[in-house]
Amino acid sequence: MSSRLEVALYLRNAGVADVDLRHPEWGNPGVGGTQFGFVSLAYYLKKYCQEAVEPVLYAQSTDRLPASVTVRPAGDVTEVVRAAAADGCDMLLVRVGDSDVEQGIYDEAAEVELPVVAWAHNFPTLRQLDAAAAHPIVKRIVCVGREELDRHRDHPAFEKSTFIYNGIDPDPAAETMERLESEGK
């Protein structure tokens, strides 16, 4: 058993398969923020946190993605759940608002006991929040910014929610990692 947390990320990129996403440090080459966010998150987790986290990017198109990240093909999120569980991943990160996430994916993940973290990028609908809040396999709902989190403050999803800021600035991340390593953490 690996001491690293294996995190499966589902990248819906069939519509942008021709866009070169191999170098997230160069910035977004013109895809949606969610697609770029998933690629850059996997890339920077691998770059700065490789001792603790092993990102596995399950993508509809596996071409033109960062060479440093483990990439596996997957057509839809149901396929990702099965593959990630078979591959021994510890959790699955999905975007709440993706249409195929709404089609029973939480039940699928529960069947294989694969915990889900739901990324609530771009204000999910009430129905999407209801589903994520109600399902025990969804361990956290991650909002992009405090404003998005505040938007569902009076919803049961709030109890499972936290927020991050969209994007990663690698310089402070590198400094923090170096400091933690020097402190033996």
Each residue's pLDDT tens digit, 54-77? 999 999 999 999 999 999 999 888
Q: 83 with 58: CB under 8 angstroms?
A: yes
Q: What is the structure's pLDDT at 95?
A: 86
Query: Residues 149-171: what's their mean pLDDT?
Result: 84
At residue 60, what are phi and psi to the nearest 5 degrees? Answer: -70, -35
Task: Give residue 180's identity as a one-letter amino acid code.
Answer: L
Token pair, residue 9, equals 């990320």
pLDDT for res 99 = 62
> How far is C-alpha 33 from the geometric centre of its chain's CA atoms?
12
What are the beta bridge partners of residue 117? 93, 140
End-to-end CA distance of the chain: 21
Tell me the pLDDT tens digit for each residue of 24-36.
988 889 888 888 9
